[in-house]
Amino acid sequence: MSINGAHPTVKILFVIDSLGTGGAERTLAEKLPYLRRLGLDTIVVGLRHRDQGVQTALQQDGFDVRILTGRAFAGRVAALWRIIRDERPDVIQTTLFHADITGRLAAVGSSARVIGSLCNTDYDKVRLRDPGHRALRFRIAQFLDGWTARHLTHHLWANSQAVKTAAIRDLRVAPERVAVILEGRDPARLGQANAQRKMVARAALGLEKDQMVLLNVGRQDFQKGQCYLLEAVANLVARHPRLVLLVAGRPGDASGDLDRLRDRLGLKDRVRFLGHREDVPELLAAADLFVFPSFYEGLPGAAVEAMALGLPIVASNIEPVREIVEEGRNAILVRPASAGELASAIERILGDRIMAEAFGRRSREIFEKQFTLEPSILQMVEFYRQLVPATRKELG
Please state, for a pLDDT cut of 90, what percent of the chain lies above it: 85
pTM metric for this prediction: 0.91
**Do 52 and 27 have their domain in common?**
yes
pLDDT range class, residue 96, cuts 50, 70, 90: very high
**Do 324 and 230 have their domain in common?**
yes
Asked whether residue 162 is assigned to any structural domain, the reply reads yes
Residue type, 59: Q
Half-sphere exposure of 179 (CA within 13 A, CB side): 18
In sequence order, what DSSP letters do the residues of 279-325 get, joined into one string? -HHHHHHH-SEEEE--S--BS-HHHHHHHHTT--EEEE--HHHHHHS
Residue 2 has pLDDT above 60, yes or no: no
**DSSP element (H, E) containing 45:** strand 41-48
pLDDT of residue 230: 98
Asked whether residue 5 is assigned to any structural domain, the reply reads no
Burial class (CB in 10 A: 0-12, 13-18, 19+), 260: exposed
Q: Is residue 76 a contact partner of residue 68, using CB atoms and an 8 Å limit?
A: yes
**Do 135 and 198 have their domain in common?**
no
Half-sphere exposure of 204 (CA within 13 A, CB side): 16
Q: Give the separation between CA 125 and CA 295, rounded to whole angstroms.
A: 10
Asked whether residue 1 is assigned to any structural domain, the reply reads no
**Do 216 and 81 have their domain in common?**
no
What's the CATH number where 160 sits?
3.40.50.2000
Q: Is 249 helix (H, G, I), strand (E, B) or coil?
A: coil
Q: Give the separation between CA 313 and CA 291, rounded to whole angstroms.
A: 6
pLDDT range class, residue 8, cuts 50, 70, 90: low
pLDDT of residue 391: 44
**Do 95 and 206 have their domain in common?**
no
**Do 17 and 34 have their domain in common?**
yes
pLDDT of residue 4: 38
Asked whether residue 378 is assigned to any structural domain, the reply reads yes
Asked whether residue 320 is assigned to any structural domain, the reply reads yes
**Do 161 and 97 have their domain in common?**
yes
Interval 246-273 mean pLDDT: 96
Q: Give the separation between CA 146 and CA 211, rounded to whole angstroms.
A: 48
Q: Chain-wide mean pLDDT for the chain?
A: 92
**Do 164 and 292 have their domain in common?**
no
Segments forming the whole domain that contains residue 72: 11-184+372-395
pLDDT range class, residue 109, cuts 50, 70, 90: very high
pLDDT of residue 393: 39
Residue 255 has pLDDT above 50, yes or no: yes
Residue 97 has pLDDT above 60, yes or no: yes
**Do 177 and 197 have their domain in common?**
no
pLDDT range class, residue 396, cuts 50, 70, 90: very low
pLDDT of residue 6: 40
Q: Over the stretch 129-161, which tens digit does the pLDDT of each residue have? A: 888 778 899 999 999 999 999 999 999 999 999
Q: Is residue 270 a contact partner of residue 245, using CB atoms and an 8 Å limit?
A: yes
Q: Give the separation between CA 30 and CA 110, rounded to whole angstroms.
A: 28
Q: What is the CA radius of gyration of the chain?
A: 22
Beta bridge partners of residue 44, listed in sequence order: 14, 65
Q: Give the separation between CA 20 and CA 16, rounded to whole angstroms.
A: 10
**Do 257 and 360 have their domain in common?**
yes
pLDDT range class, residue 277, cuts 50, 70, 90: very high
Q: Is residue 318 a contact partner of residue 295, using CB atoms and an 8 Å limit?
A: yes
Q: Give the separation between CA 369 and CA 366, rounded to whole angstroms.
A: 5
Q: Give the separation between CA 194 and CA 284, rounded to whole angstroms.
A: 11
pLDDT of residue 138: 93
pLDDT range class, residue 21, cuts 50, 70, 90: confident
**Do 388 and 260 have their domain in common?**
no
Enter the DSSP assignment of 150: H
Which residue has better confidence, 52 or 81?
81
Taking the alpha carbons of 87, 90, 93, 94 in that order, is the dihedral positive or negative?
A: positive
Residue 32 has pLDDT above 80, yes or no: yes
Asked whether residue 2 is assigned to any structural domain, the reply reads no
The total of structural domains in the chain comes to 2
**Do 203 and 236 have their domain in common?**
yes
Asked whether residue 220 is assigned to any structural domain, the reply reads yes
